[in-house]
Amino acid sequence: MVSKRMSFGEALRAAMSQAMESDERVFAYGQGINDPGGFFGSTVGLCDKFSETRCFDVPLSEDSLIGMGVGAAIQGRRPIYVALRFDFLLLMMNQIVNHAAKWPLMFGYRSAVPLTIRCIIGKDWGQGAQHSGAYYAMFAHVPGLEVVMPSSVNDAARLLLASIQSHLPTIFVESKPLYDLEGEVELPILPLPLGQASVVREGDDITFVAISHMVEFAQGVAQDLAGKNIQAEVLDLRTLSPLDENQITASVKRTGRVAVFDVGWQKFGLAAEVSRVICMDPACRLSSPLVSVGQKWEHTPGGCFREYEHYPIQQQVVTELLRLF
């Protein structure tokens, strides 16, 4: 096994390429998938390598396109649909929720829907409400759907490969700030089991539960708190569904404090689910209130300056957390 330094987009491309090489049932499609930019470098060259039979551009018709993917998956193929923005999945809700998620149950689990849907959350684009939605909690609420949200380059490659190999329909969520990352990727890529959180920083004073690009944000907050002799443990959930409840409760039992770092809106989001998990475990006892960190309760404003004020600001979060001690 060797390692190679890659960008976030290159790691996703490597995972797709490996999956397509090892399994002829895998194919990829999406609007502009063969453009020179190739979804920030994540699909460049796949068409040349595998031909337009297995990597092809499609028209703007999201509901029909996901319906095609569901049908292909039921017939034994493993489609990867690449959507540029998460907001576009709202146009696919009928196919994803009413068909992809429910099909296995309706047929006694004798049929699978191994469909992977890649989508990007548009934070840092400054493009406003219709291109910045973080709707993953809606999909995580639906039984039968997997929701995957990597935070690092190597995890992105391994989790995408696991998503493609899964027998369940999987929403693979990529946050735009992650495309600025570079890191070492182990080759050949080994799939990372879904539902396993990772401790990216150890600590005994408070648990930080984070996902996607908020893992890096949480680590920055933890570093600032360390200067005040407060040691935060940072959990990278990696997947929202399945959720590693055991890892969350094990950490909270030790620290007695918890802050949740969410990519989306705070209401009805990750903090609510973490609260449910903690409250249902009789061994979990908090010594201070849970802190929720996430977007303000409004749609993302247009323009980079207003967008910056919309999302959590590190020093403000540090100040809020210091009040717990």
Q: Is the pLDDT of residue 40 over 90?
A: no
What spatial distance separates the first Cα and last Cα of the chain, rounded to whole Å?
A: 45
Counting residues of the chain whose pLDDT is more than 70, the rounded percentage is: 99
Residue 60 pLDDT: 86
> How many beta carbons lie within 10 A of that of residue 170, not counting itself?
29
For the chain, percent helix, then strand, then coil, each to nearest 5?
40, 20, 35
> Is the CB of residue 279 less than 8 Å from the CB of residue 246?
no
Q: Dump pLDDT digits (tens) for 124-147.
A: 776 777 778 899 999 999 999 999
* Alpha carbon distance 40, 38 (integer Å): 6
Average pLDDT over the chain reads: 94
Residue 133 pLDDT: 84
Residue 228 pLDDT: 96
> Is the CB of residue 282 less than 8 Å from the CB of residue 254?
no
* Conformational region of residue 229, where left means phi above 0, alpha means psi within -120 to 50, and beta covers everything else: left
* Alpha carbon distance 180, 213 (integer Å): 11
Collect all residues with Cβ–Cβ distance below 8 Å to 272 and sequence separation of at least 6.
none
Q: Dump pLDDT digits (tens) for 52-83.
A: 999 999 998 999 999 999 999 999 999 999 99
Residue 310 pLDDT: 87
Burial (Cβ within 10 Å: 0-12, 13-18, ≥19) of residue 256: middle
DSSP string, 97-158: IIIITTHHHHTTTSS----EEEEEE-TTS-B-GGG----HHHHHTSTT-EEE---SHHHHHH
Which one of the listed residues 131, 213, 299, 310 is annotated catalytic? 131
The highest-level CATH class for domain 198-322 is: alpha beta
> What predicted TM-score, i.e. pTM, was given to this entire model?
0.96
* Alpha carbon distance 170, 192 (integer Å): 14
- What is the mean pLDDT of the segment spanning 250-262? 98
> Is the CB of residue 204 less than 8 Å from the CB of residue 233?
yes
Residue 124 pLDDT: 73
Show me where the domains of the chain are located. 2-187, 198-322
Q: In whole angstroms, how far apart are CA 325 and each of 206, 208, 315, 322?
A: 10, 15, 16, 6
Same fold, 2-187 and 198-322: yes
131 in catalytic set:
yes
Counting residues of the chain whose pLDDT is more than 90, the rounded percentage is: 84
Q: Dump pLDDT digits (tens) for 163-222.
A: 999 999 999 999 999 999 999 999 999 999 999 999 999 999 999 999 999 999 999 999
* Alpha carbon distance 10, 13 (integer Å): 5
- Classified as helix, coil or strand, 193 is coil
Residue 246 pLDDT: 97
Q: Which CATH number fits domain 2-187: 3.30.300.30, 3.50.50.60, 3.20.20.70, 3.40.50.970?
A: 3.40.50.970
Residue 53 pLDDT: 93
* Alpha carbon distance 129, 265 (integer Å): 13
